[in-house]
Amino acid sequence: MLHECCIEISQETVRFWWNRFGPLFAIEIRKQRISRIRSLSNWQWHQDEVFVKINGETHYLWRAVDHEGEVLESYVTKRRNRKAALKFLRKTMKRHGRAAVLVTDQLRSYGAAMKVIGNAER
């Protein structure tokens, strides 16, 4: 399109624009998508935790993924207990609101954290 207007740009200029403005567009698209999905009555979160090694130490990566596979939130802790699950759930709910259905891997920490929040485990 720019070439038709007799404007010459290099590939490096396009790459620079993409690196600078691409993440901003991606964030806006993600926000709009999540707000549309949030209005659905069947919005599901799948929550799990995985073991990761950081500098030789075992940590836990907590993740919340929506039903379309988009990672909503991630959180790294050294412990896998009620306090960590509660902090993760509050952080996720503060940013994305409540989900209609929470699907977990039946870790007891989730049940204890959901009792504190006021959600019944589903």
pLDDT higher at 94 or 101: 94
Q: What is the mean pLDDT of the chain?
A: 83
Give CA separation, 52 vs 81, 84, 86, 91, 119, in Å.
Answer: 16, 16, 20, 20, 28
> What is the mean pLDDT of the segment spanning 8-36?
84
pLDDT at 69: 81
Spans of all domains in the chain: 10-39, 42-117
Q: Does domain 42-117 have CATH number 3.30.420.10?
A: yes
pTM: 0.63
pLDDT > 70: percent of the chain: 90
Cβ neighbours, 10 Å, residue 29:
10
> What is the mean pLDDT of the segment spanning 9-22?
86
Contact 101, 45 (CB under 8 A): yes
Reported as a single tens digit per residue, the pLDDT across 48-99 is 888 999 999 999 999 998 887 888 889 999 998 899 989 998 998 888 777 7
What is the rounded CA–CA span in Å between residue 20 and residue 63? 27
- Place 119 in a pLDDT band, splitting at 50, 70 and 90: low
Dump the DSSP string for the chain: -TTTTT----HHHHHHHHHHHHHHHHHHHHHHHHHHHHTSTT-EEEEEEEEEEETTEEEEEEEEEETTS-EEEEEEES--SHHHHHHHHHHHHHHH---SEEE----HHHHHHHHHHTPPP-
Q: Is the dihedral of CA 78, 83, 89, 94 positive or negative?
A: negative
